[in-house]
Structure 1
Amino acid sequence: MSIPSWQVEHWARLQSRRQRDALPHALLLCGPQGLGKRDFLRRFVRGLLCQQPHEGDACGTCRSCLLLNAGTHPDYVALSYGLRKDGVQRQDIVVDQIRELSARLATASQFGGWQIASIDPADAMNHAAANALLKTLEEPASQTMLVLVADAPWRMPATIRSRCQRIEFQLPGREASLAWLQEVGVRDAEAALAAASGNPGLARLWAEQGSLAQRQEVRKDLAALASGRGDSMAVSKRWLEDAPEQRLWFAAQAVADEMRARASAQSAPLSSTLDSEGLMAWYDTANRAREALRGPLRGDLLLLELLGRWR
């Protein structure tokens, strides 16, 4: 099984530790969204539970592999967002989920090997859940492994991060990214990579979703608002209805390009009337708004205020 070049070293290091019977009881897979952390997790878990692996990869045909394919393997549990009592999906991982997971890991493996639990996204654990997880991390049972996956590990308590072996996925170089994008069939790889600020995973996803057209639309919206031709309320409504976090990413990126153009005395593409300090403040506010959209605040008011300040 081939993997992206930026994962090869991480994979080799884990397999070396496995051969020496020196795997940690807790792993933290972290780094920007889109670099394949979850694919890496699935590959690692399958290989670790497989009854006849080859160079760390699962055979795909043994009983363990078949149970994993069916989602019924007794020695693997994947924890993510649960449901509230009213059936609505939670926006965080809560303490009861962690307590149930810890109780599960305290029992013996049914296959006599590893028991593995993954928590994804681990940066969505609330304070009580993170505290409950600490005991399991500090007193792990034999042959158990916790694998935490986080796009934003800084949201997790330092006490959690410090008790995990950290595997950090970093953006590869431009040439490696372009080579991979071309290998997986992305057209206009350079434009896609630029849109994703050098992240090849996001570049592939956005190229497949047609998001490059959305990027241009966001820039046109900002230019129209800067010239007084646009309607902040209409734009905020349209953004809110279609991938608002992604649109804010593209908006912040466009403003960063505006600042770079000014710094090099080139024609600024958005023609904003904000001064350099105002542009920087708007850029910061756009990024904070992207984070805030995940919380309880009203998205329509966040976007309307932001776009009103831009105009």
Structure 2
Amino acid sequence: MNLPPLAPWQQRACAQAADAIAAGHFGHATLIVGPPLIGKRAMAEHLARRVLCLSPRADGEACGVCKSCTLFAARSQYEPVETRPDGSLSHPWGHSAHPDLQLLGYEVNQKTGKPRGEIVIEQIRSLSESMGLTAQLGGAQVVIVDPVDAINWNAFNALLKTLEEPQPGRYLWLLSSNPARLPATIRSRCQRLELRLPPRAEALDWLRGRGHAPALAEEALDAARGHPGLADAWLQGDGLELRRSVAQDAQALQGAQGTPIEVAQRWVADGRAAERLQHLAELALHEAAGLTDAAATRRLAARFDAANRARELLRSTVRADLAVAESLMTWYRNQ
């Protein structure tokens, strides 16, 4: 499987890491952070191919023809499997044919045929065992965990032991969109590499290069608050249309057209309540921008918090329609 080219902001992060590795300043464990869909996994894969290459080019890039590069390209592709209750896509890694590359993520539950909701301790123990072995091709060894946020608390202790026993030539890269959720003991033992949102002009150029019409690219990028990966995902699917429908529902509730429970039941019916709640939170932020009225700002802040709280509740056993309805109450009759 050939890797797609990196976006400019991903390339900058990859070059930064590659320079640190070449200078011997890249540590055993690195926490790679950034918002969802910014390209953390793509960047980590490109860097892994470069690190594992047995005959790198003069510029340090992977040669593409050595045994390591051939095995790297032979791994199977991964595809999104399902949308989780919290709205995130679950996509287990494809199988890695490379003996010195381990890809750790949501495993498929053999009983249900669906991805697990977390990374369990058995997976972390397997990770630790593999990192204790000699690299089979005689070069480096790379383990990528995506998302590290999904590791359950029992497994974090096993991961901590691995972090405390670094070995030369072993790289452990932990990908996270929510690093604050990680234990401080994990964060403190990792270097940090952050993928940041690019300048607006660069993001628009990239979106247009992806084939999106300029006007739609601008609308989506503005709606995504400058996040090109999110804007692209919306434009590839119906995310922008969904956002518009959320705005219409919010406006209707402010005018007492319909009730929060009616709208909530409609929102959860197709399993996309979390996506709508994300749009609702972003809508509150957008409306709050530039406000000077303290009461209006507090109201919109309450709406933002309520939408995000409801998204978190969707991960629990609380009835989805009730969690969503509680969030929508903050919009009802412009409360």
How high is the TM-score relative to the length of structure 2? 0.82
Once the two structures are overlaid, the 10-residue window that deviates more, 166-175 or 78-87, is 78-87
The count of residues paired between Structure 1 and Structure 2 equals 303
Once the two structures are superposed, residues 26-58 of structure 1 have per-residue CA deviations (whole angstroms, 9 ceiling, x without a partner) of 111101112111110110111111223333433
For residues 116-195 of structure 1, what are the structure 2 equivalents within 5 Å?
Answer: 116-187=142-213, 188-195=216-223
Letter aligned with residue 57 of structure 1: E
Does residue 225 of structure 2 align to residue 197 of structure 1? Answer: yes
Cα RMSD of the aligned pairs, angstroms, is 2.4
Paired residue for 1:248? 277
Shift in CA distance, 60/306, structure 1 to aligned 2, threshold 3 Å:
same
CA contact (8 A) 2:31 2:175 kept: yes
Paired residue for 1:86? 111
CA contact (8 A) 2:14 2:46 kept: no
Structure 1 unaligned residues grouped into runs of 5+? 265-273
For residues 5-20 of structure 1, what are the structure 2 equivalents within 5 Å?
Answer: 5-20=8-23
Candidates 42, 51, 55, aligned match of 1:52: 55
Does residue 244 of structure 2 align to residue 216 of structure 1? Answer: yes
CA contact (8 A) 2:13 2:43 kept: no
Identity in percent:
40
Shift in CA distance, 12/83, structure 1 to aligned 2, threshold 3 Å:
closer
Counterpart secondary structure, 2:311: helix
Counterpart secondary structure, 1:107: coil
Distance across 2 between alignment mates of 1:228 and 1:167: 47
Counterpart secondary structure, 1:197: coil
Distance across 2 between alignment mates of 1:95 and 1:132: 7
Distance across 1 between alignment mates of 2:260 and 2:176: 34
Distance across 1 between alignment mates of 2:305 and 2:18: 41
CA contact (8 A) 2:288 2:297 kept: yes
Structure 2 unaligned residues grouped into runs of 5+? 76-96
How far is the alpha carbon of 1:76 from its aligned partner? 0.9
How far is the alpha carbon of 1:309 from its aligned partner? 4.2
Does residue 304 of structure 2 align to residue 278 of structure 1? Answer: no
Does residue 66 of structure 2 align to residue 62 of structure 1? Answer: yes
CA contact (8 A) 2:18 2:47 kept: no
Distance across 2 between alignment mates of 1:193 and 1:291: 25
Distance across 2 between alignment mates of 1:173 and 1:218: 27
Once the two structures are superposed, residues 149-176 of structure 1 have per-residue CA deviations (whole angstroms, 9 ceiling, x without a partner) of 0011111111111211110111122222
Once the two structures are superposed, residues 242-267 of structure 1 have per-residue CA deviations (whole angstroms, 9 ceiling, x without a partner) of 53222112112222333447647xxx
Greater helix share, 1 or 2?
1
CA contact (8 A) 1:226 1:310 kept: yes
Does residue 144 of structure 2 align to residue 115 of structure 1? Answer: no
Paired residue for 1:268? none
Once the two structures are overlaid, the 10-residue window that deviates more, 23-32 or 13-22, is 13-22
Once the two structures are superposed, residues 117-154 of structure 1 have per-residue CA deviations (whole angstroms, 9 ceiling, x without a partner) of 11110011122211111111111233211010001111
Distance across 2 between alignment mates of 1:223 and 1:144: 54
Distance across 2 between alignment mates of 1:217 and 1:135: 48
Candidates 299, 308, 313, aligned match of 1:287: 308
Paired residue for 2:286? 257
Letter aligned with residue 301 of structure 2: M
Distance across 2 between alignment mates of 1:180 and 1:169: 16
Distance across 2 between alignment mates of 1:134 and 1:295: 27
Once the two structures are overlaid, the 10-residue window that deviates more, 18-27 or 82-91, is 82-91
How high is the TM-score relative to the length of structure 1? 0.88
Distance across 1 between alignment mates of 2:159 and 2:243: 40
